[in-house]
Amino acid sequence: MLIWVANSLTLGRLTAAPQIGSELTILLWTWPFGQRTALRKCSEFFDIRDCHITANRSWYHKADAVIVHHRDVCNNRESLPQGPRTPSQRWIWFNLESPSHSPNLGFMDHLFNLTMSYRRDSDIFTPYGWLEVLSQPQNFSIPAKSKLVAWAVSNWNPACYRFKYYEELKKYIHIDMYGSRHMPLPWDRQDSILSQYKFYLAFENSLHEDYITEKLWNNALGSGTVPVVLGPSRENYERFLPPDSFIHINDFPTPQGLAQYLQELDKDPVRYQRYFQWRTWLKPSEETPWALHFCKACRALQMTESYQSIPTLVKWFQ
Q: For residues 191 and 307, what is the distance between their CA atoms, to the nearest angstrom? A: 42
Nearest-CA neighbor of 119 among 139, 104, 99, 103? 99
> Across the chain, where does the E strand assignment appear?
25-28, 52-54, 65-69, 90-95, 114-117, 124-125, 131-133, 147-153, 176-179, 197-203, 226-230, 247-248, 282-284
What letters, b where the CB count within 10 A reaches 16 and e where it falls short, cover 8-35? beebeeeebeeeeeeebbbbbbbebeee
Which positions are annotated as active-site residues? Answer: 97
Q: For residues 5 and 239, what is the distance between their CA atoms, to the nearest angstrom? A: 8
Q: For residues 84 and 229, what is the distance between their CA atoms, to the nearest angstrom? A: 46
Are 202 and 219 in contact, with CB atoms under 8 Å apart?
A: yes
Q: For residues 2 and 160, what is the distance between their CA atoms, to the nearest angstrom? A: 34
Q: Do the strands 282-284 and 131-133 form a parallel or antiparallel pair, or are they unpaired?
A: antiparallel
Maximum distance among all alpha carbons in the chain?
66
